[in-house]
Structure 1
């Protein structure tokens, strides 16, 4: 084992030397973060205030919008503060906190999308049982289960990271990435690697599998219904499919990127790919659901512009 001193902080080396461009980057990211928080908050308020939206699908959407704010907050405040740092250091506790928030909220997002896919499956494939299977009370229990499931899954994996000792402290990203943190450990036990894979399976592979099964069954129904009903099904499911596709791309960049040699890419492209899931998804979600779904669009117009 290598000799090492106690690591009390990590250096986020991907920032590099951005010089005076830091003011431009800071302004762009701050405006982007404000827009994400504002757009998602507006839709949460719309769903809360319009009793016609107090239905299972929209309650699940409200949780999704709330989680997008949490995901963004797990990155942007640290990202903005690091813009004006000369050393780009982050202490061990803050690094671990960011890791916990990021992975738990991503797991919540995928589990929430799984619940939404199940909601659409029940609505389309078993409409007569929908009110029983997807009552508001049951949706509340599902959302509670989503958060408990995500938290316990990640904390199990994280419990194997806490005892690690580190022989290096340079992370080649703009945020604390668990895979790169584990690589800096002086030694990694088989249980640590297995727990990391277990979390990936439980919070990424399993939700994607369940979502795929739901949409395959929905697609099968689409092939047998009328053109008008098919159009309605497509309108309802398109935002979820777009969100899922974008998340899949973001997770692919996040998981595969550190395992590939992509040094030939420009540094700025490397940084964008590493935070892709933070950049686009929190913005895609409110605009896809807010602008695409007729009931939310109408409620927004009614609450924001109708003064009667």
Structure 2
């Protein structure tokens, strides 16, 4: 595509199904977006300012919170703009940019889940070797891989998609994603299809295998341990496993909808969007804050400090 083709307008057609309630949906979206931003920023600040949380587990959780902000901000501000507009549209350039950030959010979530699962595996299955394995250098390497590899891979994917000629300009969705843009193309690119298969296998399939294998090993070790050790392992790992399963199911159904959108009602798409871009960014800080004892203690300590400060003033 040349510069003029990037000025093409893409019409987002899914908004017509609830046009009479646009202002209601705008209000709800705005509230959930603010709650998501607040909860993720709050969790990040607690981890950043409390030195007792400067451990691999919480550093990876900090990365997950940053990713939650990316996911929320990639989708909801544009959705709110469209809810207040007479015509729900986006330039092709804007559509490609949004699709880039949406893909980065999804893929980085999987890579972050995988390094978190690996950290839990080392912590529970090799506790005496934990500090020698999860060194600061190792943590930085894992964080770099979890972010740079998805970033570079999605950049290549976005470039390949931007070269496709389009024959249709109506996207039956609330926002732009890569698969949706590919479906608008006049041609079926073998290169993009092959890259897409390798992309999914390496950046979604492989992290999923790491997560499942890590928890299988954790389960095997926990079954042989004492009741107290089993409870501790369950308390530590259950929030991560719950959020991973929820995110994976939502992502899977979103892909299915993208491939079969003409046969499925638009309400399913909206439900999957909520389950992918509202619940995880909002759920992760809440569930980790409630279920993780160290974070809960730090939050209570922070609140008490603020109360003392206000009393002094």
Equivalent residue number for residue 38 of structure 1 = 38
Equivalent residue number for residue 289 of structure 1 = 288
- Asked if residue 121 in structure 1 is aligned to residue 121 in structure 2, the reply is yes
Equivalent residue number for residue 210 of structure 1 = 210
Per-residue deviation, 1:17 = 5.6
TM-score, normalised with respect to structure 1? 0.94
Return 91-100 or 128-137, whichever deviates more: 128-137
TM-score, normalised with respect to structure 2? 0.92
Change over 3 Å in CA distance of 1:97–1:67 after alignment to 2: same
Aligned Cα RMSD in Å?
A: 1.7
Per-residue deviation, 1:132 = 1.4
Equivalent residue number for residue 268 of structure 1 = 267
Equivalent residue number for residue 258 of structure 2 = 258
Q: Where in structure 2 are the equivalents of 1:89-168 lying within 5 Å?
A: 89-168=89-168
Contact 2:172–2:261, Cα closer than 8 Å, also in 1: no
Change over 3 Å in CA distance of 1:114–1:12 after alignment to 2: same
SS in structure 2 at match of 1:90: strand
Runs (5+) with no aligned partner, structure 2: 309-313
Q: Distance in 1 between matches of 2:80 and 2:168?
A: 24
Q: Where in structure 2 are the equivalents of 1:203-242 lying within 5 Å?
A: 203-242=203-242
Total equivalences in the alignment: 303
Q: Distance in 2 between matches of 1:277 and 1:87?
A: 25
Contact 2:117–2:215, Cα closer than 8 Å, also in 1: yes
Per-residue deviation, 1:275 = 4.4
SS in structure 1 at match of 2:90: strand
Change over 3 Å in CA distance of 1:244–1:30 after alignment to 2: same
Contact 2:107–2:203, Cα closer than 8 Å, also in 1: yes
Return 152-161 or 47-56, whichever deviates more: 152-161
Contact 2:6–2:92, Cα closer than 8 Å, also in 1: no
Return 5-14 or 247-256, whichever deviates more: 5-14
Per-residue deviation, 1:141 = 2.4
Q: Distance in 2 between matches of 1:251 and 1:155?
A: 20
Contact 2:36–2:278, Cα closer than 8 Å, also in 1: no
Runs (5+) with no aligned partner, structure 1: none
Per-residue deviation, 1:156 = 2.5
Contact 1:64–1:112, Cα closer than 8 Å, also in 2: yes
Return 298-307 or 209-218, whichever deviates more: 298-307
Q: Distance in 2 between matches of 1:23 and 1:108?
A: 32
SS in structure 2 at match of 1:160: helix
Equivalent residue number for residue 188 of structure 2 = 188
Change over 3 Å in CA distance of 1:6–1:167 after alignment to 2: farther
Structure (1/2) with the larger helix percentage: 2
Contact 2:44–2:62, Cα closer than 8 Å, also in 1: yes
Equivalent residue number for residue 246 of structure 1 = 246
Task: Spell out, residue by residue over 1:29-65, the C-alpha distance to the aligned partner (whole angstroms, 9 max, x if none).
Answer: 0010000000111111111111111111011111111
